[in-house]
Copies of this chain bind each other. A is one copy, B any other.
Amino acid sequence: MAAQRGQRNGVGVTPPAPTAAEITTPIPRVTEVPAARERARAIPEAAVARLAVYLRVLSGMQEHGAGTVSSEELAVAAGVNSAKLRKDLSYIGSYGTRGVGYEVAVLIEEIERILGLTRKHSVAVVGIGNLGHALANYGGFPGRGFPVTALFDVDPDLVGVPVGGMPVEHIDDIPRVCAEREVSIGVIATPPPAAQAVCDRLVSAGVQCILNFAPVVLQVPDHVEVRKVDLAVELQVLSFHVARRADNAAVLAEANGRAVDGMVVS
């Protein structure tokens, strides 16, 4: 969940709070919004993540010259249940033809529209260590539409050095550079102790979406979206499964050959 599954700042969960002043300007409470594109809000987060997967699979299919797909085909390729897939697609509208399937090109277009991939999203990477280096070199970042337009680090020896064809800037320049280059997504790849400070700078520079690789729980204002990629957590979840498997095997072995019962070690 990911996984994942994204961090929400979670702290301000005080429900009796009226949560006034939502986006930027003091808006006098708009509860019943026109709902034309408000539909977007209704898409569950998990479904959004899957839509991104469908999009990738569809792109592959298009390159192989496929004109249409059935929900079943697409579901198998994406590794999900076909009913779930259809429900996910229904969140963005009805673009299929009953008895036939979906037109690949149409689906790609609609998913890209919903995911906001029609606009380019400038990405800034902060922290040019091992991981930041790798991210900067990732070839303009995975897939379409996420050009890396700024790199930052605190190390003066790194500042000015080109990495992946782009000079590293000092983190003190985050506000200026992010504003100039209209950065909309910040990637934090710093050591843990620096992460919160960097995050604060990005936020005050107007960045509203952050991808955090540092193993730290970031505190951000409500209007900022944070997603977390935590290698340690991923490994530990896998470790849990290893342990569970081993334990189950032991229990099962005990349950079958029940002669030895002094064997169960704590």
Contacts and interface: CB of A to CB of B under 8 A. Distances in A.
A215 interface: yes
Interface residues of A, number: 101
Contact of A217 (B33, B79, B115, B248): B79
Interface stretch (A38-46, A97-105, A152-160, A171-179): A38-46
Contacts of A165: none
Interface stretch (A62-70, A197-205, A226-234): A226-234
Given A24-B249, A81-B10, A225 B238 contact: yes
A211 interface: yes
Contacts of A145: 239
A146 B235 CA distance: 8
Contacts of A131: 134, 138
A108 interface: no
B245 A23 contact: yes
Interface in A115-136: 115-117, 119, 121, 123, 130-131, 133-135
Contact of A247 (B37, B146, B208, B236): B37
A251 to B, nearest CB: 5
Main secondary structure of the interface of A (DSSP, over half): mixed
Contacts of A161: none
A227 to B, nearest CB: 5
A255 B30 contact: yes
Nearest to A184: B242
Interface string A5-22: 111111101000000001
A215 to B, nearest CB: 6
Contacts of A245: 23, 208, 223
A228 B230 CA distance: 11
A95 interface: no
Nearest to A117: B239
Contacts of A22: 252
Contacts of A249: 23-24
B1 A4 contact: yes
A227 B3 contact: yes
30 contacts: A1-B3, A1-B4, A1-B227, A3-B49, A3-B227, A4-B5, A10-B79, A30-B252, A33-B248, A33-B252, A38-B248, A49-B233, A52-B232, A52-B236, A56-B215, A77-B217, A114-B240, A115-B237, A116-B240, A119-B243, A123-B235, A130-B137, A131-B138, A141-B231, A142-B232, A146-B235, A185-B238, A209-B238, A210-B238, A227-B238
